[in-house]
Amino acid sequence: MAVPTTPTEQRRLPEPPTITKRALSIGRAIGSPVGAVIFAFVLGAIVVAATGSDPFLAYGDLLCGGIGLFCPTNVYPGFQISETLVYATPLILAGLAVAIAFKASLFNIGAEGQLILGAIATTVVGIKLANWPGWILLPLVLLAGTLAGAVWGGIVGVLKATVGAHEVVTTIMLNYVAQFLLEDLIVGGPLQAPGQSSVTAPIGKGAQLGRLVPQSGTFLGLPGGVYRVHAGLFVALAAAVIFWFLLQRTVFGYELRSVGQSTRAARYAGISVPRTIIMTMLISGAFAGLAGAVAISGLRHSLTDIYRSETTGFDAITVALLGQNAAIGTVIAAIFLAALHIGGQFMQGDAGVSSNLVDALQALILFCIAANFVRSLKLRLPALRQMPPSKSKEAPGVAAVATDTEPSATPNVKETT
């Protein structure tokens, strides 16, 4: 980076972080999402109580159904955890997709569409090459899904970078295009399995990710076959590591974050903003496409009309925001949200409280995060506001770039949040 520093001007290295300092910074990072969750749960409890159910029973069920804690004896905690991890697997990947776009100040609402494209590509390759051996077919189907998602996201990036089409609108539109494309393919279309409706043939055995629990014998008191948690979980965790490495340890990640902080400052620093936007949307789409691929390869094995009602791509927005767009945060938030959903299903059966309460909780979490959003994260519209560059972010390099263009701005201004 072309930061003109002489040895005397050189930035002093931050003092070695003491335990309290680190605790404070962690506290700051998780304060907002934890606060949002508490806010949502308190309001949710009021709603549950007001509609004549017991909020403690309902939340107890969420805890048991989601993460297997404090369960009655007839419930198998291991099974509940397995279901939560199954739900969380594509959610982690889709959450990373939304998060990486957020990092560049792009709002990818199109993870759902990119995920559907990924699922379609995975299924097509998995069916056409069904007889190929697994060691080549499995990577191939995952790659196909990733690429298809990248293309779908890339369209958005190109439109944004070349003609300035707002990514929020194009992604919403492309979600529906993907949805109808899928319907066209599986309802009476070329992919529909003979003699069946709204479903394709299953992908080849070699294209399927393995289950993590041995399918024969019993595991934690239940037959191994009921545990659906699959190797896609490791794919998702590996993707989270790649996400972290890409953002924090590569030049491109630095450029991406610079563009996210201030397009103008990034431009002054010699970064090609259009190129960064296109690359970011390609990668974002790739993560979402991989989410679709993993769900097909590890769990569903064929395309169905479940995508009419599935909401992974939208839940991913909550995941990214709750996870503060960090890799580890996204993983935790995805597992948290998955636990809510799986717990919600259990709650519906046990406490008679509709599992849709979970959607309402999710919306309340979003409201709460949104209300603090611009002020606490300055994620959006950084170039439009003449604020001094934010110092609380994890990117001192970006602050240096920004101060470079505005020498008068003091980087020590406290966040007023």
Partner 1 sequence: MNFLLTVLGLLVTGGFWQVAIQETALLLLPALGGVISERSGVVNIAMEGMMLAGAFAAVVCDLAWHNPWLAALAAILAGGFMALIHAVISIRFRADQIISGIAINIFAAGMTVFLLDKIYGVEGIGHVPPNFLLPTLNIPGLNQIPLLGQALFQQNIVVYIAIIVLILTNVVLFRTRLGLRLRAVGEHPQAADTAGINVYALRYGAVITSGLLSGLAGAFLSIGIVNTFVPNMTGGRGYIALAAMIFGKWTPLGATLACLIFGVGTAIYDSNSTLHFSPYLLNMLPYVLTIAVLAGLVGKSVPPAADGIPYEPGSH
Q: Kindly indicate which of the ranges 132-140, 179-187, 283-291, 335-343 contains the residues binding partner 1, using the contact rule CB under 8 A.
A: 179-187
Q: Which is nearer to partner 1, 41 or 373 (CB)?
A: 373
Smallest gap from Cβ 238 to partner 1, in A, equals 29
Contacts (CB under 8 A) with partner 1, residues 105-164: 107, 109, 159, 163
Q: How many CA atoms lie within 13 A of 357 on its CB side?
A: 31
As beta bridge partners, residue 223 has 218
Q: Scanning the structure block, which residue is given the tokens 């240096």?
A: 400
Q: Is 162 exposed, middle or buried (0-12, 13-18, 19+ CB in 10 A)?
A: exposed
Buried b (16+ CB within 10 A) or exposed e, 205-219: ebbbbebbbeeeeeb
How many residues are present in the chain?
A: 417
Selection from 141, 158, 153, 95 nearest residue 286 by Cα: 153
Tokens 């048991």 -> residue = 64
Binding characters for partner 1, 300-319, by CB under 8 A (x = yes): ---------x----x--x--
CB 71 to partner 1: min, Å = 24
Residue of 91, 92, 293, 358 interacting with partner 1 (CB under 8 A) = 358
Q: What minimum distance in Å lies between the beta carbon of 72 and partner 1?
A: 23
Phi-psi category of residue 65: left, alpha or beta, with phi > 0 → left and psi -120 to 50 → alpha: alpha
The CB-of-128 to partner 1 minimum distance in angstroms stands at 22
CA separation for the pair 336, 320 (Å, rounded): 12
Stretch that binds partner 1, among 266-274, 295-303, 363-371, 392-400 (CB under 8 A): 363-371
Residues numbered 27 to 56 that lie near partner 1 (CB under 8 A) are: 47, 51-52
Q: Least distance in Å: CB of 185 to partner 1?
A: 9
Nearer residue to partner 1 within complex by CB, 142 or 351: 351
CB of 286 to partner 1, least distance (A): 21
Of residues 23 and 371, the one with the C-beta less far from partner 1: 371
Applying CB under 8 A, does 396 fall inside the site for partner 1?
A: no
Calculate the dihedral angle through the C-alpha atoms of 277, 278, 280, 284, rounding to the nearest 10 degrees: 130
Pick from 105, 101, 95: which is nearest to 329 by CA? Answer: 95
Residues that bind partner 1 (CB under 8 A): 47, 51-52, 107, 109, 159, 163, 165-166, 168-170, 172-174, 176-177, 180-181, 183-184, 187, 189, 309, 314, 317, 321, 354, 356-360, 362-364, 366-367, 369-375, 379-381, 384-386
